[in-house]
Structure 1
């Protein structure tokens, strides 16, 4: 019986697939960051240009992590769309 392209995909080991290999470091770094964030539960004073805010450290770290993830997502999305335009 002739093999199809779906047969090839079924025999590829899960961890060697490109999507999984790119997702692995992201999941590991995210897990470590979240453990670090939620272990720091004390309060801290943060100055945001003019106002001074007292908030838990985990909240400040979570906000910084979220902003970093957004910046990374926009950068990756922009880079992939730029490469797609060049190939046309």
Structure 2
């Protein structure tokens, strides 16, 4: 029997999963997020937090989770602005 070539001329060669650009960009994000979430949920003690004027008592994990979420939103906003700014550059 003759072996047939399964790759056509117009097909791209197979790229290993860990070598793909999207995976290489997301891997540090996933690792840092996992470590941050473990850190957040290990801190279960209550603490007093001043929110400008009022002072509230809440679990430390809640405060850390809110801070982490706000940081993620800020990062996503900055990345989106950067992407939009580079997309609008004429002639580059």
TM, length-normalised to structure 1: 0.91
What SS does the aligned partner of 2:63 have? helix
Counterpart of 1:80 (choices 56, 64, 83) is: 83
Unmatched 5+ stretches in structure 1:
none
Q: Deviations over 1:12-67 (max 9, x none)?
A: 00000000000000000000000000000000000111100000000000000000
- Identify the residue that residue 9 of structure 2 maps to in structure 1: 3
Shift of 1:87: 4.4
Q: Which structure is higher in helix share?
A: 1
Instruction: Give the number of equivalent residue pairs.
Output: 85
The whole-number CA distance in structure 2 between the counterparts of 1:4 and 1:65 is 45
Asked if residue 29 in structure 1 is aligned to residue 35 in structure 2, the reply is no
Unmatched 5+ stretches in structure 2:
none
Q: Which has the larger radius of gyration?
A: 2
What SS does the aligned partner of 1:86 have? coil
Counterpart of 2:20 (choices 4, 17, 22) is: 17
